[in-house]
Amino acid sequence: MKATIWHNPRCSKSREALALLQDAGAEVRIVEYLKTPPTRETLAALYEKAEMRPRDGLRLAEPGAKPLKTASDDAILDAMVVDPILIERPLVETEKGARLGRPPEKIREIL
């Protein structure tokens, strides 16, 4: 099985999700999204595949998220592309779907 993880190696949940994928024997493509941010189109497609709204993938703990409290999904996507720290992690995609790995065990649904 192939999987892609949008990963932040400094994040414990992201590291746990990566370990879960590796333990499952997945061939993992790791994208450090802070160094190589997804395009707006990729991000929108991931959220659609995960059956979630961009708002659900907004990292609320970041100061830059506060002004987006009442923003549209389009505005949130635009902000995430400009400042990828606003993207909640880890996002994982396989041929079975996409999930936000919070908690990391949620990615078992697409393995």
| Distance (Å, whole) CA 45 – CA 97 | 11
Is position 4 annotated as part of the catalytic site?
no
| Distance (Å, whole) CA 87 – CA 81 | 9
DSSP per position, 58-105: B-TTSGGGGGGTT--HHHHHHHHHH-GGGB-S-EEEETTEEEE-SSGG
Considering the candidates 6, 7, 10, 11, report the single residue annotated as catalytic.
Answer: 11
88: nearest Cα among 96, 97, 80 = 80
Q: Which residues are catalytic?
A: 11
